[in-house]
Amino acid sequence: MRIFWSLLKHILYFLDILAYKKWNNQPFSNKPISNKEKYYELWNKASSKNNPEVNQYEKSTGYKIENDWINNLALRTQIVIKKSELNYAHGKILYSSLRKYIAKEQTNLENVVILETGTARGFSSLCMAKALNDSNISGSILTFDVLPHTKKIYWNCITDHLEGPITRQKLLKPWDYLVNKYIIFHQGYSSIELKKIGFQRINFAFLDGAHTYEDVFFEFNIIRKYQENGDIIVFDDYNEKLFPGIVKAVNEISDKYGYDKKIIKSFDDRSYVIAKKSS
């Protein structure tokens, strides 16, 4: 029996290597996709965009992330070459929402537990980490993605020209003080890994991983068991045309599971939903 379990352990180890092989081996490109001037051009354009509804939402919460801080973070983690228009307003929404949540619940909170799916380059995690830090509260952000944290890859961002292939750990080096204090990076498919984690409570969540109805609902069903009234889930890419599965899942969550939803629209028909547990 001992030999059997030892053999099974080795088989699972190699299956894990195979499952993530394509993500660990230059998933974006094996060289810089464009020149650095293009990234700076895209950055200047994206940082100058006006988001009236997002601005109003920040004002309504009483909490606004510093423009210089979020723009500098976006240069390394959000400015990429892709077909759709660049928009990182979700970082502002996450920061303001989390600050407001903490301010409202602070007398009942000693520690804030945050779950994120879809880490990518770490932009959203860091916006939430800054919210925790600025609120002067302890907490942890457990973030999941198939992308590696300690493998050197080209990230399709400005650092490809400045530093070559690097790990996500090095990509986020300028914000080490927040990473080390709050963020735990986990490589894995949420459909497999979430069931392995033991939670007491999930105060706040951001779902931006797989965009199908089945995946969103799976992640929600894990989270809702550990949430209390007032706890929050933020959904990205609420767009009927591009991601009907997300819209269907979020609407069902709101209608059937006691979550009040607030929709915030951005300039590119991209919308975000803040869902607050109410029953």
Tokens 């928009």 sit at which residue? 87
pLDDT in tens, 244-256: 999 999 999 999 9
- Chain-centre distance of CA 238, in angstroms? 15
Tokens 């993605």 appear where? 145
Question: What span, in angstroms and rounded, lies between the C-alpha atoms of 217 and 268?
Answer: 25
Tokens of 225: 């068991």
pTM value? 0.93
What is the per-residue pLDDT across 109-140, written as a single tens digit (0 to 9) for each? 889 999 999 999 999 999 999 999 999 999 99
In the predicted model, is pLDDT for residue 16 greater than 80? no
pLDDT at 192: 87
Measured CA to CA, the distance from residue 107 to residue 242 in angstroms comes to: 40
Query: Has domain 31-277 been given CATH number 3.40.50.10320?
Result: no
**Contacts by residues 252-260 (CB-CB < 8 Å, ≥ 24 positions apart):** 252/217, 253/217, 253/220, 257/220, 257/224, 259/233
Of 109 and 106, which is predicted with more confidence?
A: 109
Sequence-distant (≥ 6) Cβ neighbours of residue 11 within 8 angstroms: none
- Show me where the domains of the chain are located: 31-277
